[in-house]
Amino acid sequence: IPQSEIPRLSTLYHAKRLIPSSKPPQRRASSTLNTRVGLIRSEITKLSLPNGAIVSAANTALLNGGGVCGAIHNAAGRGLLAECLTLNGCETGDAKITGAYELACRNVIHAVGPVYSKARKTNEHASLLEGCYVAAMRLAVENGLDTIVFPAISTGVFGYPSYEAAEVAICTVRDFLEREEERGGGGLRLVVFCTFESRDEIAYIELLPNYFPPA
Ligand code: AR6
């Protein structure tokens, strides 16, 4: 799937495929921000991003695993795991960057979200999840990338409830892009939420208009 075919929020609102909820918006409307955010339901490895990265929902050892991380390793080929093994792992709430090997993007960013467990307080989960989104976006900017595509980190094997995780993801991206804009722009041209299961898609469709209202 070429990057140009990833639907932006501005287009989705225009085509009435994203309907704002009755909730009062949490943030001001901004047409520029709405063109910098995309939403797609896809197998993440199918996206073609000449100057972009896909994000893997990784584990702290940066080993191959199940879920989206397994799909990325399988599609990228063995070079990806070999490079991961040189990185000395990654802490929960942080991210690391590698090449993309056989994938049609420039880099893979490996982000480690929290395991959702009763032993941790909700706000600790949220700040760890926020941390890995921010770390991934910073890495993309530092490496001169213009596009980053996120799966719904932590919502699979790690058990983070979909709706809560979507809210953290969307709010974190909104704050990051807004801060970039306040500093005079540059940075990321496009941040995409790539869902895979319908429950995540539903959560994003419901929550996005709250943080990125139609302009
Ligand atoms: N493309 C896009 N999204 C996908 C794909 C795909 N090909 N496959 C799954 N998802 P998970 P986690 C969605 O379990 O919860 C691994 O073993 C999936 O529907 O991949 O952060 C790692 O090695 C879900 O919404 O990641 C870690 O040990 C989302 O990706 C652990 O799992 C995340 O689910 C990480 O668990």
pLDDT at position 98: 98
What phi and psi, each to the nearest 5 degrees, are found at residue 149? -120, 120
Task: Say if CB 201 and CB 40 are below 8 A apart.
Answer: no
Task: Print pLDDT tens along the chain (215 aa).
Answer: 999 999 999 999 999 899 887 788 889 999 999 999 999 999 999 999 999 999 999 999 999 999 999 999 999 999 999 999 999 999 999 999 999 999 999 999 999 999 998 778 778 999 999 999 999 999 999 999 999 999 999 999 999 999 999 999 999 999 999 999 888 877 899 999 999 999 999 999 999 999 999 98
Residue 185 CA, ligand 1 centroid: distance in Å: 31
Residue 58 CA, ligand 1 centroid: distance in Å: 8
Task: Say if CB 143 and CB 97 are below 8 A apart.
Answer: yes
Check if 65 has its Cβ closer than 6 Å to any atom of ligand 1: yes
Amino acid identity at 182 = E
Out of 40, 68, 117, give the residue to mutate to test ligand 1, the one with the largest number of ligand atoms within 8 Å of its CB: 68
Ligand 1 atom index nearest CA of 153: 21
Residue 15 CA, ligand 1 centroid: distance in Å: 30
Structure tokens given for 58: 């990784």
Residue 197 CA, ligand 1 centroid: distance in Å: 10
* Residue 48 to residue 87: CA distance in whole angstroms: 25
pLDDT at position 192: 98
Q: What is the pLDDT of residues 130-151, one digit of tens each?
A: 999 999 999 999 999 999 999 9
- Those residues whose C-beta lies under 8 Å from the C-beta of residue 128, and which sit 6 or more positions away, are 92, 93, 113, 114
**What is the complex's ipTM, to 2 decimals?**
0.98
Contacts 24+ apart (CB under 8 A), 64-73: 65/157, 66/156, 66/157, 67/156, 67/157, 68/44, 68/151, 68/156, 68/196, 69/110, 71/43, 71/44, 71/45, 72/44, 72/45, 72/103, 72/108
> For residue 2, what are the β-bridge partners?
48
Check if 155 has its Cβ closer than 6 Å to any atom of ligand 1: yes
> pTM for the whole thing?
0.97
Residue-wise burial string across 85-122, b where 16 or more C-beta atoms lie within 10 A, e elsewhere: eeeebbebbbbbbbebbebbbbbbbbbbbbbbeeeeee
